[in-house]
């Protein structure tokens, strides 16, 4: 053994760098995305059975009916994709899948908007502009941020907000039913 080889063997292995600040943040984003995916799955999977039942329940034989059927078919698939992609660490792809759910939900509302117009009475005065204007814009921004790998935290918030507001409405409704009855 020559001196150069002995010196190389005596060197200690280089320690691995400590976890960076981005890894815990990504873990937090992954957890949030998994929770949002689970919430969307709870919303999407029960409606799949509609595709296998009498199709007369779905309004419109034309393009509007196609959009509604496409939403029913893709919602659970995209929700599952969000869960799986976030679980394996593909945060950017999970954000894009969650934002795609928001866009598909928006497309689901479009046949009704075309047939009946926008409703701005009562609680719909706040809900309609959110669902028809703000949510799809937020989803597009989330997709743009995720595609560029920029501001992934903001992209997660933008893609998650529609789901959170929907579930918040369900919780408030349930509380109201528990307090006042049905």
pLDDT tens per residue across span 135-179: 999 999 999 999 999 999 999 999 999 999 989 988 988 999 999
**pTM of whole model > 0.85?**
no
* pLDDT band at residue 6 using 50, 70 and 90 as cut-offs: low
> 152: closest CA among 75, 77, 89, 107?
89
64-107 pLDDT, tens digit per residue, is: 777 888 888 899 999 999 999 999 989 999 999 999 999 999 98
CA distance 30 to 35: 9
């Amino acid at each position: 053994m020559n001196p150069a080889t002995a010196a190389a063997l005596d060197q200690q292995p280089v320690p691995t760098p400590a976890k960076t600040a981005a890894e815990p943040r990504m873990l937090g984003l992954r957890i949030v995305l998994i929770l949002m995916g689970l919430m969307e799955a709870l919303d999407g999977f029960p409606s799949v059975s509609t595709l296998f039942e009498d199709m007369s329940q779905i309004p419109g034989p034309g393009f509007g009916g196609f959009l509604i059927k496409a939403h029913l078919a893709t919602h659970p698939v995209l929700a599952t994709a969000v869960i799986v992609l976030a679980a394996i660490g593909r945060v950017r792809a999970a954000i894009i899948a969650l934002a795609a759910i928001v866009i598909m939900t928006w497309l689901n509302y479009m046949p009704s908007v075309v047939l009946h117009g926008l409703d701005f009475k009562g609680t719909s005065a706040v809900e309609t502009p959110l669902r028809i204007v703000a949510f799809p814009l937020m989803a597009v921004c989330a997709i743009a941020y995720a595609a560029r790998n920029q501001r992934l935290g903001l992209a997660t918030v933008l893609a998650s907000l529609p789901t959170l507001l929907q579930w918040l409405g369900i919780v408030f409704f349930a509380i109201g039913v528990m307090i006042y009855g049905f």
